[in-house]
Amino acid sequence: MTLKSIIDADSFEKLTEETKAFYVKKEDGYVLETDTTEKLNEFRDNNRALFRENEEFKKKTTELESKLEQLEKTVTEKNEKELLSEGKIDELLTQRTEAMRQSYEEKLENLSKNYETAEKTLDIHIVENQIREEAIKANAKNDRAVNHIIRAIRPNLKRDGTNAVRVDTDGNVVMSDDGSTPQGIAEIVEELKVSDGFLFAESTGSGATGGQDQAVSAKKKIRRSEIGKYISEVSKGEVDIIDG
């Protein structure tokens, strides 16, 4: 018996009380609580944190630009007073303006570089974490397979706000069949399951064959009372559960 990661209400009701304890009710059904679930939650939390940090950086950048504008105004006013008091209007105006311009350009250049770096970092984390999440949902075999999936489909995605959307070779967004919804990571992962199925674990079950010889299972057998000890293996379909 292989426990599915997500089941509907009808399937949940058919489970034993002991097995039900490993599921938690969510919006899309009942979800098997495993280490994988914790990783998915961690990825989502990281994405939200990175997005908030980036928004805060944008806010600080805007505030600093405003302060620079105010500084420029203050310097200009000071220069005008000095020019009037010393009579060196042309000389002081040239010196102060040049110094102010250089300082402003240097700070603005640094801000631009920092902003680009922050945007690039946010883009990498959001898109790659969403790919990782979809790969785990699709039952990728292991971390090595997940990393391969990330490298394989990353060039076909770009970030749109906090979500990744599919793009063609020209960078245009690829739409779903309805013509209005952009395709996302899930569609590419499904295609990858067909073309590179070796990256994903298969969910297989065992049952009666009407009197015919049954194939010998290579999976480890555990008693139902031991599910708690092997919850990770159970969620991956790596063990068979027997009564006891």
pLDDT mean over 144-167: 87
Is residue 99 pLDDT above 80, yes or no?
no
DSSP letter for each residue of 161-198: TTEEEEB-TTSPBPB-TTSSSBP-HHHHHHHHHHH-GG
Average the pLDDT over 76-100 and give the result: 72
Q: Are 140 and 146 in contact (CB under 8 A)?
A: yes
Cα(131)–Cα(149) distance, integer angstroms: 8
Mean pLDDT of 111-125: 78
Which has more pLDDT, 214 or 181? 181
pLDDT for the residue 214: 38
Radius of gyration of the chain (CA): 29
211: left (phi over 0), alpha (psi -120 to 50) or beta: left
The contacts of residue 103 (CB under 8 Å, 6+ apart) are none
Instruction: Tell me the mean pLDDT in the region 38-53.
Output: 72
The pTM for the full model equals 0.41
49-67 exposure pattern, b = at least 16 Cβ within 10 A, e = fewer: ebeeebeebeeebeeeeee
Phi, psi (degrees; rounded to nearest 5) at 172: -85, 140
Within 13 Å of residue 236, how many CA atoms lie on the same side as its CB? 15
Residue 18: pLDDT band by 50, 70, 90 thresholds? Answer: confident
